[in-house]
Amino acid sequence: MKPETVVDFDVALIERARRGDAKAFERLYREHVGRVNGLCLRMTRNPDLAADCVQDAFIKAWKALPRFEARSSFSTWLHRIAVNTVLEKRRGSANAEIAVEDPSEFEEPAMVLDSPVEEEELEAAIESLPQGARDALVLCGLYGYEHSEAASMLGIAVGTCKAQLHRARGLLKDRLERGVR
């Protein structure tokens, strides 16, 4: 992921939360809940299920705080827990694996669209993508994670993640051209 500043403010709150201070953890929740919910909502496409995932992710984070290593980004750590939670809730609907012979063929530039589109239209097109492609696009294209980080969060190979992102871009382009909605 593009380096994210580990703010001292967060570090102090994490330390207090680690010692059992729920108020400090609530401040961390308030600060991060928007991003976590955005991630879960885009992965699940269901506001209620996303809210369940967010709730569970923060509860898991509280329990796992003693194992959090302060030198890593709290936000990335939290997102990893949230992605795991979404995957657990999906249960059984496994990510489709795409066979990849040469992952380097899928190296992609930034997520630039061919022509500007309305925000709502773009959200709808992303929502319409198949699960595996959508996950890769949301994590890499929107939240800025490297393929290796996104692949690790999703429990798939790096090559698969690249292939899914490539597929997502193709489908997205196609759907935006045809007009999803």
Partner 1 sequence: MNKRLSRIDELAREIPPARDLWPAIAAAIEADKAAAGVPAQSRRRAGWWPAAGLAASVALVAIGVLIGENIGHQPVQQAGIPAHSTNPAVMPATLRDAEYRKQRDALWVEVRAKLQAMPPAERAKVGASLDTLRRSITEIEAALGRDPANALLQELLVNSCQEEMRALTVVRDSGREEIGT
The footprint of partner 1 (CB under 8 A) covers: 20, 22, 25-26, 29-30, 33-35, 37-39, 41, 47, 50-51, 54-55, 58-59, 62-63, 110-113, 115-120, 122-123, 126, 137, 141-144, 172
Minimum distance from CB of 157 to partner 1 (Å)? Answer: 23
Is the Cβ–Cβ distance between 82 and 61 less than 8 Å?
no
Question: CB-wise, 101 or 114, nearer to partner 1?
Answer: 114
Minimum distance from CB of 14 to partner 1 (Å)? Answer: 15
DSSP 20: T
Minimum distance from CB of 111 to partner 1 (Å)? Answer: 4
Q: Which two three-digit tokens encode residue 59? A: 């509860």
Question: CB-wise, 59 or 94, nearer to partner 1?
Answer: 59
Question: CB-wise, 88 or 97, nearer to partner 1?
Answer: 88
* CB-based burial label for 79 (10 Å; 0-12, 13-18, 19+): buried
Question: CB-wise, 28 or 100, nearer to partner 1?
Answer: 28
DSSP 128: T
Minimum distance from CB of 69 to partner 1 (Å)? Answer: 21
Separation between Cα atoms, residue 12 and residue 111, nearest integer Å: 35
Torsion, Cα 161 164 170 176, to 10 degrees, reads -100
